[in-house]
Amino acid sequence: MTTINFTKMNGLGNDFIILNFDDYKKTKTSPEKLAVKLCDRHFSIGADGLIIVNPEVKNADIGWIFYNSDGSIAQMCGNGIRCFARYAFDKGIVNKKEFSVDTKAGIIVPKILDDGKIKVNMSKPVLIPEKIPVKTKNNLNFEVKVSDRIFIANAVSMGNPHCIIITDEDTKALALKYGREIETNPLFPEKTNVEFVKILSRNEINLDVWERGCAITLACGTGACASVAAAILNGLCDNNVKVNLPGGSLFIEWNGSINDTKYDIYMSGSADYSFTGQISI
């Protein structure tokens, strides 16, 4: 057996195991299998996802390899990228507070703020149905049929697909009851993350999330970004929005509108250490 070091971090309770590249190579295990093994909450460390530092990139300061707890690959994870940014800076893997990260969603740029929070340029929301992807003519206000009802939904990609449902009902109850069924709905050829949103004001929303490949999580950074974009495009929110999730709050800025969507989305929030340790593989 091989013993490796790991760091456990969380962004608003959305938790991740982080491995440096040398420890990952020692395991001689595919990242898919390693994610399933290490993220098991009963027989291993337990987490929503596995992050592996990837220094072998040429088009950015650093790269990452990210897998969900079920072994599926994720193009982007908002809470994960904040944790990764703090880890990379604290460990001296990068030596500047603002740097570029190579991800499967493209180049993402996080910045370590003076108050300890992480602000991330999450790039532009993707609103073209075939690029999200979703099998609809329009990404806004389309029907999603489930077992016993029909939801009016919006689709947005933040490098990964999201289905946003704005409602006055209990968002947690809806996520628990319908999250998996919507995640696997045929409208979404790559499955989808599912967000149930309650609008509190033009500058504040509540959000419960069913994450693709993870089920219910305490927070979702890309989901917060996608939900704010959908709310703004529907004329329900202004350009700076506090997003309340079960694990805490994120702050999302987007200067876009239904008439002008060219702007990048910015996400700000915490990234915290849970514990460090060693495990035998």
Contact 41, 216 (CB under 8 A): no
Which one from 77, 83, 163, 237 is the annotated catalytic residue? 77
How far apart CA 4 and CA 24 sit, in angstroms, is 8
Which one from 39, 163, 214, 220 is the annotated catalytic residue? 220
Give yes or no: 237 in active site: no
Contact 35, 69 (CB under 8 A): yes
**Closest residue by Cα to residue 107 from 117, 98, 115:** 98
- Cis amide prior to 133 (ω within 30 degrees): yes
The number of helices, as runs of H, and strands, as runs of E, in the chain is 5, 17
**Closest residue by Cα to residue 243 from 174, 197, 176:** 197
**Sign of the C-alpha dihedral, residues 101, 105, 109, 112?**
negative
C-alpha of 1 from chain center = 33
How far apart CA 31 and CA 121 sit, in angstroms, is 26
**Closest residue by Cα to residue 256 from 236, 233, 234, 237:** 233
SS3 of residue 219 by DSSP? coil
Provide the terminal-to-terminal Cα distance of the chain, rounded to the nearest Å.
6
Determine the angle formed by the axes of helices 78-90 and 221-233, rounding to 10 degrees. 130
Give yes or no: 77 in active site: yes
Active site residues: 77, 220
